[in-house]
């Protein structure tokens, strides 16, 4: 089944403890991206990648890192999480340009709480 898989689905952590949220897609998509969703603010893009070893900042990159060493994986790294990073996170992937027949495919989300 074509899908984007995020792990974990839920995570509670403490301030300053490094964490990684994994994202993997099995559709051979070039483009992958991370979003966070907060009440009243909608979906905001954190980072995106147009191919292996090619990453760039989205609208809210502060406090996050990403890497794209393989085409299928695009982990989101929080080196020193803070409470304002408590949010619902989504990973998405697509063929370049997002103009494929199904647009972007999103993962099921990771609900992160930083205390």
Rounded to the nearest angstrom, the gap between the alpha carbon of residue 37 and the centroid of all alpha carbons in its chain is 11
Hey, how many other C-beta atoms are within 10 angstroms of the C-beta on 46?
23
Cβ closer to other proteins: 58 or 75? 58
- Residue 50 binds to other proteins (criterion: CB under 8 A): yes
User: What DSSP string describes 15-30?
Assistant: TT--EEEEEEESS--S
Per CB under 8 A, does 102 bind other proteins? yes
61 near other proteins (CB under 8 A): no
* 13 belongs to the binding site for other proteins (CB under 8 A): no
111 binds other proteins (CB under 8 A): yes
């Amino acid at each position: 089944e074509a899908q984007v898989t995020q792990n974990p689905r839920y995570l509670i952590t403490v301030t300053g403890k490094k964490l990684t949220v994994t994202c993997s897609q099995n559709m051979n998509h070039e483009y992958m991206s991370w979003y966070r969703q907060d009440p009243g603010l909608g979906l905001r893009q954190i980072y995106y990648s147009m191919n292996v070893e090619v990453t760039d900042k989205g609208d809210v990159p502060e406090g996050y890192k990403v890497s794209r060493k393989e085409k299928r994986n695009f982990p989101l790294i929080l080196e020193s999480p803070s409470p304002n990073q408590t949010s619902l996170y989504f990973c998405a992937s697509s063929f370049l340009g997002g103009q494929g027949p199904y647009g972007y495919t999103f993962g099921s989300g990771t609900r992160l709480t930083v205390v």
